[in-house]
Amino acid sequence: MSTIDSTAPKIVDPKSTSSNPTTSASMQVPDASGRFGDFGGRYVPETLTRALEELVEEYQKARKDPDFQAELDELLHRFVGRPSPLYHAKRLSGLLGGAQIWLKREDLNHTGAHKINNTLGQALLTLRMKKTRVIAETGAGQHGVASATACAHFGLPCVVYMGAEDVRRQKPNVFSMRLMGAEVRPVESGSKTLRDAVNEAMRDWMSSVEHTHYIIGSVIGPHPFPQMVRDFQSVIGKECREQCLTSLGRLPDAIVACVGGGSNAAGMFYPFVQDTSVRLIGVEAGGRGQQSGEHASPLTYGSPGVLHGSYSYVMQDNDGQTSDVHSISAGLDYPGVGPEHSYWKDTKRVEYTSCRDDEAIESFDLLARNEGILTALETCHALAKAAQIAKTMTRDQHLVICLSGRGDKDAAELARLRGQEW
């Protein structure tokens, strides 16, 4: 147990003040062509251009329309249950003996993850564009469930593409989607994971684009998706910032979030971009090791390239072919990452690191045993790193973890990974 007295005088953490000179990341991104610095843009077949332009137009109109905001806010409040609590994990904080740990409880949202913040916004846009069908990709199944939910709510038909390997390891979510009337199409090509699901969804969209909207589930894809998904997810960071000011009387010292495509992290970080006293830390899937093919950490080990319609860090070979990646977590098992994260990496506004499979699996117990919370395997990556970072901080400092999703969906897979009976 910690011996540090909570009434000890406040120590100024050198990392949390002005020792970070290269913070030049702007919140005024992307530009009109969808660029976050060099990153982003739009690398898609001409067939999709008109739909993307239409989406830009409709989204810009909706942003300025108080009725749209009011409708979305109402849904987020009464249907999703927002605002999500900022919870002080006192037992865990005491146990680790470092910073005070706060959990931004996106796992308490309806459907159990942050993904619903985005799907409701995009479903509303689907209706405004008078499109009559929705498609989505999913890895962990959380975005698929959130899409199926939004579609059931609005009466839209929904098709979800999901890698066959992910169908296996995230079965509970496959059932949920089907219960809500969505059609889940397993994808057998490539590595049968999230990247292949995105490919299939894009191909569907190539043929159906005139009447179908593709609800992309993260801050990836061609402009305007990275911006639009970030904006819909920014409700996380906005609420969190206010809750910190209310509960702590100040901003937190550090915020940690896991990064798959990067939507929960982008939504959490974006409202804090200009608060340079706040350390922002994104955690990628470190898998089994640093060699290519063993992890899914493009920001940590990859290089800039093109995948799924935008220019960003990606795992690729010398010919520009996308490399295979690995993670125990279906939602992080993706070779690319949103372009704004690449921008934040290069401007050094956000620190990116990665967390191995075994560290993530182990950290599941931290919240389960000490706080009574089952955490999604994706989120466990943030949790494991946050626990390490918290130990290097003092008891009067505050660290927020974006608790992006609940762990029920992973119970069976976790048992399998640990060689236990299910």
Partner 1 sequence: MTAIDELFQRLKGSGKKAFMPFITAGDPNMAFTSKVLQRLEALGCSMAEVGFPYSDPIADGPVIQASYTRALGNKLKLQQIFDQIQSDRSERKMPLVAMVSYAIIHRQGQEGFIQAAKQAGFSGVIVPDLLVEESQTMSQLCRKHDFNLIQLVTPTTPRERALRIAEASSGFLYFVSVTGITGERTELPADLVDRVGWIKERTNLPICIGFGISKPEHVKLLAPVCDGLIVGSAIVRCLEKAGESQEQALASAEQLIASLLAALEPAKG
Ligand X SMILES: Cc1ncc(COP(=O)(O)O)c(C=O)c1O
Instruction: Confirm or reject binding of residue 130 to partner 1 (CB under 8 A).
Output: no
Contacts (CB under 6 A) with ligand X, residues 211-230: 218
Name the residue among 17, 213, 2 with its Cα closest to residue 119. 213
Stretch that binds partner 1, among 168-176, 194-202, 282-290, 392-400 (CB under 8 A): 194-202
Per the structure block, which two tokens stand in for 152?
């059931």
Q: Is 277 a catalytic residue?
A: no
* Interface residue with partner 1, options 109, 122, 176, 199 (CB under 8 A): 199
Backbone angles phi, psi at 296, to 5 degrees: -135, 60
- In the bound state with partner 1, the residue whose beta carbon lies nearer, of 307 and 337, is 307
Neighbouring-strand partners of residue 353: 283
In 3-state terms, the chain is what percent helix, strand and coil (to 5)? 45, 20, 35
Binding mask 246-285 for ligand X (x = CB under 6 A): ------------xxxxxxxx--------------------
- In the bound state with ligand X, the residue whose beta carbon lies nearer, of 38 and 408, is 408
∠ CA 56-305-42, nearest 5°, is 15
Neighbouring-strand partners of residue 350: 280
In this structure, the chain runs to a length of: 422
Stretch that binds partner 1, among 63-71, 141-149, 200-208, 278-286 (CB under 8 A): 200-208
Q: How far is the CB of 77 from ligand X (least distance, A)?
A: 21
For 69, half-sphere exposure in the C-beta direction (CA atoms, 13 angstrom radius) is 8
Instruction: Confirm or reject binding of residue 47 to partner 1 (CB under 8 A).
Output: yes
DSSP tag of 375? B
Quick one: what does residue 154 bind among partner 1, ligand X, none, with the CB cut-off 5 to 8 Å set by partner type?
none
Instruction: Confirm or reject binding of residue 410 to ligand X (CB under 6 A).
Output: no
Sheet holding 310-314, edge to edge: 35-36, 39-40, 310-314, 303-307
Are 198 and 225 in contact by the 8 Å Cβ rule? The answer is no
CA gap 200, 412 in Å, rounded: 27
Instruction: Confirm or reject binding of residue 69 to partner 1 (CB under 8 A).
Output: no
Q: Is 15 a catalytic residue?
A: no
Are 375 and 367 in contact by the 8 Å Cβ rule? The answer is yes
Catalytic one of 218, 354, 363, 404: 404
Q: How far is the CB of 66 from ligand X (least distance, A)?
A: 28
- In the bound state with partner 1, the residue whose beta carbon lies nearer, of 107 and 165, is 165
Instruction: Confirm or reject binding of residue 213 to partner 1 (CB under 8 A).
Output: no
Quick one: what does residue 98 bind among partner 1, ligand X, none, with the CB cut-off 5 to 8 Å set by partner type?
none
Neighbouring-strand partners of residue 184: 160
Per the structure block, which two tokens stand in for 192?
């049968």
Stretch that binds partner 1, among 80-88, 163-171, 281-289, 311-319 (CB under 8 A): 311-319
Instruction: Confirm or reject binding of residue 162 to ligand X (CB under 6 A).
Output: no
Neighbouring-strand partners of residue 254: 279, 399
Total chain residues near ligand X (CB under 6 A): 21
What's at 256, amino acid-wise? V
Neighbouring-strand partners of residue 306: 311
* Pairing between β-strand 254-258 and β-strand 279-287 as defined by DSSP bridges: parallel
- b/e map of 15-48 (b: 16 or more CB within 10 Å)? ebeeeeeeeebeeebbeeebbbbebbbbebeeeb
Catalytic one of 84, 93, 106, 115: 115
Catalytic one of 106, 137, 239, 378: 137
* Interface residue with partner 1, options 1, 12, 22, 46 (CB under 8 A): 46
Q: Is 137 a catalytic residue?
A: yes
- In the bound state with partner 1, the residue whose beta carbon lies nearer, of 68 and 161, is 161
What does the binding site for ligand X look like in residue numbers (CB under 6 A)?
113, 139-140, 142-143, 218, 258-265, 331-332, 376, 378-379, 404-405
What residues are labeled active site? 115, 137, 404
